[in-house]
């Protein structure tokens, strides 16, 4: 069975620190990378189901402090 996947772009508040460690600690997050530009971090997420994937993004990633905005792309 294939996993559901998403890419989440994150725009952080100025002077935010430690968010990469918090993201890496979330189950389902497979990779966290820094970016330059409008978005500061790209996060790759995998889960067994679409509902679990949405739960990870909505209740774990988006609720972290120091996040201004996110853009989520579900991988087909």
**Structure confidence at residue 14 (pLDDT):** 86
The answer on pLDDT for 12 being more than 90 is yes
Residue-number span of the structural domain to which 11 is assigned:
4-75
End-to-end CA distance of the chain: 14
Give 38's strand partners. Answer: none
The answer on pLDDT for 16 being more than 90 is no
User: CATH number, domain at 29?
Assistant: 3.30.70.920
Q: How many domains does the chain have?
A: 1
DSSP of 16-48, one letter per residue? Answer: --SHHHHHHTSTTEEEEEE-SSS--EEEEEEES
Summarised one tens digit per residue, pLDDT across range 30-52 is 999 999 999 999 999 999 999 99
């Amino acid at each position: 069975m294939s996993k559901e996947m998403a890419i989440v772009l994150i725009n952080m508040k100025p002077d935010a620190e430690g968010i990469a460690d918090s993201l890496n600690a979330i189950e389902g997050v497979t990779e966290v990378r820094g970016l330059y530009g409008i978005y500061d971090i790209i996060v790759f997420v995998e889960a067994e189901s679409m509902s679990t994937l949405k739960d990870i993004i909505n209740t774990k990633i988006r609720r972290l402090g120091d996040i201004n905005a996110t853009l989520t792309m579900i991988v087909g």
